[in-house]
Structure 1
Amino acid sequence: MRLILNAASEEFAATGFDATQIREIAARAGLPKANIYYYFQSKENLYANVLLSFVEPLLEASAALRASDDPAVALHAYIHARIRIVQENPLSSKVFSHELLRGAKHLPQEHKALLQAEAQHNVEFLRNWIERGLIAPVDPEHLMLFIWSATRTYTNLAWQMSLITGTQHPAATDYHNAAATITHMVLSGVMQTNEPFGLSC
């Protein structure tokens, strides 16, 4: 099944949901079409499983945010976890991002419910820190949106990023530096510190 999911991620990422054909996924996986239908029954179900393969790590990243009551520790862990997810799952990340840009029309309702519940929990966690004076009184919803958008840049803006970095694909150091930069920006804003910038974050 992992071979099929990998092939499907590659095909959906390259051509999108509507243009992708099961026969192309089968050819990429080196399997008969019947094997694809045996495990996943339909293109829609296979696509949903590709999306779920990215939703599950996102939920794990949210757990990292709430693992500590120290905002500096928790936000650092959350940002680095989200960058690591994109680095480790570049194709399913791209498929997931494209699905969101299309209005999440094919994202199963149970996936949407899980993501919405996690988002609300995360925002309430941030709001609690604000009310206790642990972080600056920023808008928690927009802080969360900023983190989401910043940590998905390497997926959504790959072509633009290549213009800046001069390489077709981000290297491991690019992901590390991205996580460090985003962490510094967020902590500098919400912790109101004057610590010097450094890529060791």
Structure 2
Amino acid sequence: MSRIRQHNQQLILEAASAEFAARGFDATQTRDIAARAGVPKANLYYYFQSKENLYAKVLLGFVEPLLEASAVLRESDDPLVSLPAYIEARIRIAREHPHIAKVFSDELLLSAKHLPEECRDLLYAEARRNVECLGSWIERGVLAPVDPEHLMLFIWSATRTYTNLGWQMAHITGRGTPQDEDYDNAAATITRLVLGGVVPFVVREDRVLKFAT
């Protein structure tokens, strides 16, 4: 792929992410994406053929970081290492990809009707691996006997709050958009809540994992 082609595609993807995040799929116009990207509208169709294809590429750009974050969950056999790393990775995605994160969250709220089958298959397989990982820790007794599927859903919903609830957060924090310290505090708070619920007797001096026994 030529450097110019790659540059133009990236400009269009970034512009599309911002437009889809602000307006949603149905209300977004390709002319607005092209205008934001600073390229002729014809270039959008040359590189992506249709708005649907472009939207799918935007969603896939968020699925890939999600899969990387899930791999972190299983890199250690110790949930005190893996769970905090997983939560931090998911919060980092929201920090580094705010537009794509919002597009993805909005798509899920609309029953994922535009989510490509490729994305569905990847996410489903990865979710099952994650739940199996949690289940194995529960069976070994290193986590409390909770439902692994609902534990995973809780982590997903808690870490996705920072892309779904910007308006509410602005009223709580007094800032229009989350700052770095907000993301850091989010990761620390979610980690404490999760580990405090599934590992009730934890004492660690490093990072935030210090709980009363």
Provide TM-score, normalisation by structure 1.
0.97
Unaligned runs of 5+ in 2: 1-8
TM-superposed CA distance for 1:196, in Å, is 9.0
Maintained 8 Å contact 1:61/1:78: yes
TM-superposed CA distance for 1:56, in Å, is 0.3
* 2:82 pairs with 1:74: yes
Name 2:23's counterpart in structure 1.
15
TM-superposed CA distance for 1:117, in Å, is 0.5
Name 1:49's counterpart in structure 2.
57
Name 1:91's counterpart in structure 2.
99
RMSD (CA atoms): 1.5
Name the CA distance, whole Å, in 2 between partners of 1:10 and 1:27. 12
> Where does 1:35-184 land on structure 2 (aligned, <5 Å)?
35-184=43-192
* 2:9 pairs with 1:4: no
TM-superposed CA distance for 1:134, in Å, is 1.1
Maintained 8 Å contact 1:177/1:199: no
Task: Give the percent of matched residue pairs that are identical in Structure 1 and Structure 2.
Answer: 69
Of 29, 32, 41, 1:33 maps to 41
Give the number of equivalent residue pairs.
201
Pair 1:177–1:168, CA change in 2 (3 A): same
Maintained 8 Å contact 1:181/1:199: no
1:103 maps to amino acid: S
Provide TM-score, normalisation by structure 2.
0.91
3-state SS of paired residue (2:24): helix
Name the CA distance, whole Å, in 1 between partners of 2:116 and 2:204. 44
Name 2:32's counterpart in structure 1.
24
Unaligned runs of 5+ in 1: none
Name the CA distance, whole Å, in 1 between partners of 2:69 and 2:138. 21
